[in-house]
Structure 1
Amino acid sequence: MLHKFSVKNFRNFSEWLCFDLTSQQYEFNENAVNEGIVRHAMIYGPNGGGKSNLGLAMVDPVLHLVDSPSYFSSLENNYLNGQKKGSIAEFVFEFRIDGAKIVYSYGKKSCTKLVYENLSIDNIHILQIDRRVSPLAKIELEGAEHLKKDVGESEISLLKYIKSNSILDDTKTNKIFFSLLKFIEGMVFFRSLNANNKGEYVGKDIGVKRLSQSIIESDSIEDFEKFLNDAGIECSLMVDIDANSNKAIYFDFGETKLEFGSAASTGTLSLGIFYFWWLRLKSGAVTFAYIDEFDAFYHHALASTIVEKIITSQAQTIVTTHNTGVMSNDLLRPDCYFVLNREIFPITELTDKELRKAHNLEKIYKGLSS
């Protein structure tokens, strides 16, 4: 899992921002943490404070390590912080994977063009290059000895270069290296603010043009119908052929039927988008999910239901919201709730009180942030 993350000069982050996911000592809702790391987190903060940009920064490795990823086109012309022209965006990721401490840091001048890159596993430098100094790379992985160390003018990631051009030996370090790549490949940022046919996401190409296609192909129509009914949307669903000769989901009204994407409300469409990603979370295809404004179209009671579903996932998840109604020890715990406003910190730092399970976190947050 991701243990700590730092970013500088990316979009609205002109200076270093550090997000520490180290858990604290609480003896309840232990499923929210894993081996001293927050597994499920929730972030609050003002509009324009950087919640969306933080998520985009946290999944940034996908852009240069995954083939043909999906990403927002705005990243191409709005990647670097506007106050520091000519500089580079810098990132530091600290992971705990398979019991190993992994530090992956790099600097980029655009979505895919790397300037420097470093990877260490248990404090041993495995990969290193700084193109500002030399095109020569340091590569210390068994099985990669044959690779050219002089990368010339190439701005490709060393990690991707090694993955694509070598067959590494079966060593502990190499296994951890591939586990890191697998974790990054499963990282995704998604939101449904536009409520179009598949919302917006950054991550590995999901392989379908319509989200309903995955629900149909995974034979999940009945479960999707139950999910909607449990969310308070009484409906009956069926699969039929649409005007383009494709299978599609329809509301079944007996003598009539209406195509889901055309007839559903914005909130219901948003639930459909979440359900698609939920299937991927449940299957293990997603290892890390940053869900931006997850409850933008939900009733406050439904938001709690969605959080309850998210935290059953084994993936590491971070959601952003303005809804203080879900700031509760019934769902998570104090070390899982964070506030982002120029810097990011857990709500435990908002008060000198020793927060316990019986405390009303929403009341404390509103009282101290007003």
Structure 2
Amino acid sequence: MIVGSDLARARLVSRSVDVISTHQSPSGAYPACPTFSAYRGYAWLRDGAFIAEGMSRAGEVEGVTAFHEWCAEVIGAREGQVESLVRRAAEGESVSPAEMLPTRFTLEGGDGTDEWWDHQLDGYGTWLWALAEHTTRHGAAVRGAERAVKVATTYLSWFWDQPCYDWWEEHVDQRHVSTLGAIHAGLRAAIGTGLLDEAEAKAAAEAVEGITALVEAEGVAQGGHLRKWLGSDEVDASLLSCVYPFGLYPADHPVAVATVAEVERQLAHEGGVHRYLADTFYGGGRWVLLAGFLGLNHAAAGRREQALRYLDWMGAQATDSGELPEQVSDVLLAPGRFEEWLQRWGSVATPLLWSHGMYLMLADALEVRS
């Protein structure tokens, strides 16, 4: 099979749907990776939302609806916790990161028992965004959605400006621009559902305005690109999401153009994309799902050939059985750090369902069908 051929692309679309469907839990959850030691048995809202978006675009309505119903149950069940957090915050009490909602859950929807870097706000925004995309696209009815949308919206409206871990579960003391972009998109989506009452919608709109103002004032570096976090001039590949699909800035906005260009200049290498320059996780390899984000941004800007190049690089990383890994280790930023992670957690996560979800999203953007 020639990598980059129409047939190879179509086959990997079909295989990606199969991999994700096969590993979806009976509960509806999408496990991050069914075999990787540190991820096995857990589902993340962030990963799952992007996986669901890829499957929704591929027309897998039933499975995606089941995922969103699982999320709705998981989030709705934490209504009392959110009410308590909001009440304490309103009274001026400090709330620690350890007391916030989890970022990952067991496949049955419970809190994890292992230690983890758990306070991440972006997943809740990403889920709200993905839910709205799916229900708008397919007219799907998601059981429990109204309660969960209200809970997630209230949580984000109150705590959007609090530092938390980033996509990579690092730097809990910073406010990350990619996190702000996810919350911005999620709250906009929640307002658009019509499920919020007047007070909830008003609070969400005020948070959206606050994020817009904060990013404009502190989130753009001197070079005109978005910052990894407020106060840093570094870039991070997760910033690509702020342009597409989250739309914090449209693809033709100068900040968007500068951000995509700077991420590509610093972090892209022959079709693959590193997370950030100081990355040492498994030596700092190139991530398959990030190639998907960069390809999506090229597609959104009308650069089809560049987008296809990233899609084909993603496809070239598939194993003989058609499984996509989390990252590849042939070009490393910190090769001396690879072995310690191999000894700690074993081989790189494969299959990573998020990688397959991003392949489906980019394939759809390029009208590649199975």
Normalised by the length of structure 1, the TM-score is 0.26
Bigger fraction of residues in strand: 1
Bigger fraction of residues in helix: 2
